[in-house]
Structure 1
């Protein structure tokens, strides 16, 4: 309980951004796009007459996404506790719909969505709501790609207005703990903050929190070894994809050795190309998700 209290105090001490919502344990924030002054077309109704009805709002715009372990949970089961928290914080729900009533494909592509791989939307399995609190507006978009769930929040606060502090209703743990929990429980974990475009093998200059966590885990468990396994989408021939996926894993291994001081004999790099997808490659969103690197524990 002390851990949760400390987390709550940290939120109150930080600038009031988008951490008003308490997500389930294991949820990891994937993206954080903040514009000091921008506009947003706030959906106010379902797709009709060729468009999604909206009104334009201006101010500080926050666009954030999370990935979480959905399991067998429905989009309603993911959204309902978040909606309860919003209402407890004084937001009024002004519009909500689910995929079929929203307008399916047309609503999805008629409203703003953070690009993949930071947000994934299944055309027939999503829910959306708009909410207001005084001059502040907020939208939530929830979808699934089992076993994962995805949450997008866009919030617009008038310039010069201080958002109310967050209200924590449920206990949670931060995304860092979630990644290590997944690793120790399942023996492998996707490194969500790494991303490669089709054919690319270079790892960017980002800090990549997942790599710091892996390095810390290896330091705390000196008898443990780890394999980094690269995966691709199904674009191109198998052998070429195996080579690309191996180079991606090798790039991650090199970063752990050079930037985090991990001993080279404790991590290996392998690639399996497109042979182990976690979703269909039939869509751009699916291909983005399949291009990944996983960490695998080697217990022996």
Structure 2
């Protein structure tokens, strides 16, 4: 906060004249009073800004706030714009206003518009009027007991316009001041290097990536030149939901299973458009077909675009990188299965953020984990049960497939080594189809396992009891292939008698 304790009145004017004030050099972070009008005694300068040659629209009427965009009569001026906000305590808004008004009249300013108290409209109108000239864009609570004045004066160097809004809140008064010193546009400040302008366009040079960084990218779709890898992960056989663009007629997302790679990149000093067109061209050249895509406003509102990007992002959030958005979802069919690429591109200030999913579709590979008697015994001792995934059946059938033999061998060995062990053999299914039918099927499969152990491995029948619970005791969710696979199992539960 900058304290100003200056005598109120006209500063410098009588000594050097208004013409000497117009056209002086200025800068954006203005931290002084304007030379034409000093601050009210003991006023605090809360904020000030200066713009060299800018257009400003002064309100010259009470503001109509009945419409979405407030309407008011405007007086436009172009020149050096000075914005000030002063705060004062233990003084009335009328005293501050009358002192500024007296100073303006002393200088010979002509009134263009003025209002006082109720003449400035209701509280909402008064606040809007003050906000139109406030350096912060809002007067907040300082809209009570309002006064507003707009005037102008011709000078040898051009016209000067000044506006004040004075409003009160509790024991403080806030004054918003705008002064525009009109002037013709000064050109010739920017010089052209004609030699550079005549040079042919050259590609942007980018430092080559290290082998370590290259290895982090997906081999099918490396990063944009100069991009920085923000985060990434790769998963062998995962189920993922990939969104379609917000402008799609059918907004059902794709649910796919396969090798998953997710990447997040950032790039500087490049547009979202250029990044998008390059990825689009690369996928087109590689033979991908586009399932869904959107550009800019086609991607919906800012929130809709942000939500779309969140679904592609590793962190489930694109943070600020959702402006000027582009999205594409593409597919290519290969002998080994389909490959999908989803890319969301958004910008923030001078930076572009890119979220990328590549999914190489494939079935879940099974048989990677072998079962032996010792492992089964450890599970039963620890949890009272062991989950078995190595007994296979055809869909809807209860006949054990031949590839189940290694698992049956392990169960038989477990029972042979532990002669006092009694087991419930419990069949489980996923939630596909009718629940009652699944219970029956799970019981039939448990019966088949018991029968095989008795017949083929000579296990005593009184050591085994078959039961089926269908989908009613899941080990995973039933909304993905991986979850359903966990639910299709046999459990060996230790029986006490």
Q: TM-score range by the shorter chain?
A: 0.3 to 0.5
Larger fraction in strand: 2
Query: If the length of structure 2 is used for normalisation, what is the TM-score?
Result: 0.29
Which structure has more relative contact order (CA 8 Å, sep 6+)? It is 1
TM-score between both structures, scaled by the size of structure 1: 0.46
Decide which structure has the larger Cα Rg and report it: 2
